[in-house]
Amino acid sequence: MHPPIEDYALIGDEQTAALVGRDGSVDWLCVPRFDSAACFARLLGDEDNGHWRIAPKDVEGPCTRRAYRPDTLVLDTEWDTPDGTVRVTDLMPQRERAPDVVRIVEGVSGRVTVRSTLRLRFDYGSIVPWMRRSDGHRIAVAGPDSVWLRSEPAVHTWGEDFGTHSEFTVAEGERVAFVLTWHPSHEARPPLVDPYEALSSSVADWRSWVGRCTYQGPYRDAVVRSLITLKALSYAPTGGIVAAATTSLPEELGGVRNWDYRFCWLRDSTLTLGALLSAGYHKEAAAWRDWLLRAVAGNPADLQIMYGLAGERRLPETELPWLAGYNGSAPVRSGNDAVTQLQLDVYGEVMDSLYLARRSGLSAKPHMWAMQGALLQFLESAWRQPDEGLWEVRGGRRQFVHSKVMVWVAADRAVRTLEEHPDLPGDPDAWRALRDEVHREVCEKGYDPERNTFTQYYGSRELDAALLLIPRVGFLPPEDPRVIGTVDAVRAELGHGGFVRRYDAEDTPVDGLPGGEGAFLACSFWLADALHLTGRTQEARELFERLLGLTNDVGLLAEEYDPVAGRQLGNFPQAFSHIGLVNTALALAGGGGAG
């Protein structure tokens, strides 16, 4: 059995990330990018699929305590043993050329014998590299990948069972640092990183970045931790933000709902932009906006729901059958076929994001408005099509209400942009007509007057948590009885252990997959927002604080939560969940939010 998902902490260098367990094992690392093949894949397999554990000798269980250093992504893990206390500090410093994992072992008290076990397995745990020694390094090579391991000071290292092992003793105040560096095998070794300088500079850099945060309201610690997590999930060279650092962590234990989230989704764009802008991170917001403009450039009919880190369009989905999956949840997937789906809501999300960017003072790009006009022209003829909806269902296209609402958002933001900037070219009358027509159809075909609620798709009785966004995007005012009825219906029918599911996955054929899933955390934050907007702020605050209670011991959230088993589910950490946390905290503090 794998440890619970919430047992993991994140370290990263804004180009990739690693997951470190409470037992001191790095069980997931893709190099050199988030979407590269993993060289540690124990998370989705077993120890022979690659991991790196540093812990006191003969201690098999979890650590005594761990925490990030305040306002950083530097992780301290400590064990109390009969012989004394030892600390392991984990980080990935900002890279110049190559990704490095730095692990510093420090004696806190007494004398503790520590063991390091490194099993490198390239290509998602399928390839055992050739190991050799050179200049005090252990060097692993297989195909395009090369990894160098060294320690300062040098400790005795030996090979055994296709792993690299070290054993040493540290007394109070003594330190041993390990540095693991990846680079392409055909290139020369990159410059060596001083592990202690890397630690000092990483702490300083993170604290300087956090110092730019303008939010000073309630729940600031949770907000800052979420913002650090979003920063860690950013791909610095392009400004893209991945949905999560992992692939195939299950939405249902033992089930097949295991997807690759190491890409950038347009559905997250407005909420991400709003969170960054509201917290004072205009540079990061501009980088995300610029990534968005590059990614969506081209024929509006070819707009995708997600892209690669640099805007790549081809993300073919394949299965990795040699990995058994997290707690037997197979298949394990690389890539995501949902990239080919039609989701009309992304047009609204792009238009809303660029409208928000313009209103917030981000400098407009010369081609931006022309591209927005092309998107509207496409929607004028395409908006009546059924689509797969924002949840990427695989059970066939439908007339999803949320998709139509976001078409309305696209037209509305275009009209508002022209009203605020009348010098821009465009046809406001045509776009008003489109906006009015979509609004009228949604209210006629997407609303159930008997139950006083909007529905998941035209003519259905099913509900969808995305309907909670109707007042947030301005489709109807919060005080409208149809909005209040929808909020109440979603809470009653999609409620799960005090939180909210996306939709009824088990009793309807919408998503075309067997099994179910947990409560969706982003949707639960949306419910808190909707309660606040409809005047039930105390209930919103109570829900928000319950959601905060789901974060793990270092403040991280996955995609979903199982209220029955009391554990997190889905890919981890999940940007969408942390964006929801930030925006709800801002709304409850009176700072508004995205959308």
Last residue of a domain, one of 146, 162, 194: 194
* Domain identity same for 147 and 261: no
* Domain identity same for 37 and 112: yes
CATH of the domain at 49: 2.70.98.40
Alpha-carbon distance of 122 to 145, in angstroms, equals 7
Q: Up-side HSE of residue 323: CA atoms within 13 Å toward CB?
A: 36
* Domain identity same for 153 and 273: no
Alpha-carbon distance of 177 to 195, in angstroms, equals 7
Q: How confident is the model at residue 595 (pLDDT cuts 50, 70, 90)?
A: very low
Give domain status of residue 426, yes or no.
no
Instruction: Check whether 166 has a pLDDT greater than 80.
Output: yes
DSSP string, 64-129: SEEEEPTTSS-EEEEEEETTEEEEEEEE-PPPSSS-EEEEEEEEEEEEEEEEEEEE--HHHHTBPP
Structure tokens at 298: 């081209």
Residues 247-252: what's their mean pLDDT?
Answer: 97
Give domain status of residue 595, yes or no.
no
Which amino acid belongs to residue 247? T
DSSP string, 231-254: HHTEETTTTEE-SBS-B---SSTT
* Domain identity same for 164 and 222: no
Residues 236-259: what's their mean pLDDT?
Answer: 96
Give domain status of residue 288, yes or no.
yes
Structure tokens at 526: 């949306």
* Domain identity same for 250 and 152: no
Q: How confident is the model at residue 311 (pLDDT cuts 50, 70, 90)?
A: very high
Find out whether 433 and 415 touch, Cβ atoms under 8 Å: no
Alpha-carbon distance of 549 to 378, in angstroms, equals 44
Structure tokens at 195: 């592990």
Structure tokens at 191: 């410059």
Q: Up-side HSE of residue 194: CA atoms within 13 Å toward CB?
A: 4
Domain that holds residue 227: 216-343+454-589
Q: Which of 565, 539, 537, 538 is nearest to 550 (CA)?
A: 565
Give domain status of residue 486, yes or no.
yes
Find out whether 184 and 144 touch, Cβ atoms under 8 Å: yes
Residue 149: beta bridge partners? 138, 180
Q: How confident is the model at residue 334 (pLDDT cuts 50, 70, 90)?
A: very high
Q: How confident is the model at residue 318 (pLDDT cuts 50, 70, 90)?
A: very high
- Per-residue pLDDT at 591: 55
Find out whether 566 and 552 touch, Cβ atoms under 8 Å: no
CATH of the domain at 486: 1.50.10.10
Find out whether 102 and 179 touch, Cβ atoms under 8 Å: yes
* Domain identity same for 518 and 583: yes
The percentage of the chain sitting over the pLDDT mark of 70, rounded to a whole number, equals 99
* Domain identity same for 542 and 466: yes
- Per-residue pLDDT at 465: 98
* Domain identity same for 84 and 190: yes
DSSP, collapsed to helix, strand or coil, labels residue 319 as strand
Residue 114: beta bridge partners? 56, 168
Give domain status of residue 261, yes or no.
yes
Angle between helices 521-533 and 481-494 (to 10 degrees): 150
Mean pLDDT, rounded, of the chain: 96
The sign of the torsion formed by the CA atoms of 229, 232, 235, 238 equals positive
Q: What is the dihedral of CA 531, 457, 356, 340, to 10 degrees?
A: 130
How many domains does one find in the chain? 2
Which tens digit of pLDDT belongs to each residue from 537-569?
Answer: 999 999 999 999 999 999 999 999 999 999 999
- Per-residue pLDDT at 393: 86
Alpha-carbon distance of 570 to 583, in angstroms, equals 21
Structure tokens at 49: 């699929």
Residues 178-183: what's their mean pLDDT?
Answer: 97
The sign of the torsion formed by the CA atoms of 202, 204, 206, 209 equals negative
Instruction: Check whether 593 has a pLDDT greater than 70.
Output: no
Which tens digit of pLDDT belongs to each residue from 29-59?
Answer: 999 999 999 999 999 999 999 999 999 999 9
Alpha-carbon distance of 483 to 339, in angstroms, equals 32
Alpha-carbon distance of 465 to 487, in angstroms, equals 9
- Per-residue pLDDT at 436: 98
Give domain status of residue 432, yes or no.
no
Q: Up-side HSE of residue 439: CA atoms within 13 Å toward CB?
A: 16
Residues 145-173: what's their mean pLDDT?
Answer: 96
Find out whether 361 and 289 touch, Cβ atoms under 8 Å: no
- Nearest-5° Cα angle at 558, 118 to 475: 150
Residues 416-427: what's their mean pLDDT?
Answer: 95
Find out whether 465 and 522 touch, Cβ atoms under 8 Å: no
Q: How confident is the model at residue 390 (pLDDT cuts 50, 70, 90)?
A: very high
Residues 424-448: what's their mean pLDDT?
Answer: 97
Give domain status of residue 388, yes or no.
no
- Per-residue pLDDT at 590: 85
> In residues, how long is the chain?
595
Neighbours of 133 (CB within 10 A): 10
Which tens digit of pLDDT belongs to each residue from 73-93?
Answer: 999 999 999 999 999 999 999
Find out whether 257 and 515 touch, Cβ atoms under 8 Å: yes
Which tens digit of pLDDT belongs to each residue from 502-526?
Answer: 999 877 778 888 888 999 999 999 9
How far is C-alpha 267 from the geometric centre of its chain's CA atoms? 12
Give domain status of residue 402, yes or no.
no
Widest CA span in the chain: 78
Instruction: Check whether 368 has a pLDDT greater than 70.
Output: yes
* Domain identity same for 168 and 226: no
Alpha-carbon distance of 486 to 380, in angstroms, equals 28
N- to C-terminal Cα separation, the chain: 41
* Domain identity same for 567 and 499: yes
* Domain identity same for 179 and 297: no
- Per-residue pLDDT at 74: 98
Residues 6+ apart with CB under 8 A from 258: 247, 248, 249, 250, 251, 325, 326, 329, 330, 331, 332, 333
Helix or strand run (H / E) with residue 484: helix 481-494
* Domain identity same for 154 and 240: no
Last residue of a domain, one of 194, 228, 258: 194
Burial zone of 470 (CB within 10 Å; 0-12 exposed, 13-18 middle, 19+ buried): buried
Residues 304-318: what's their mean pLDDT?
Answer: 96
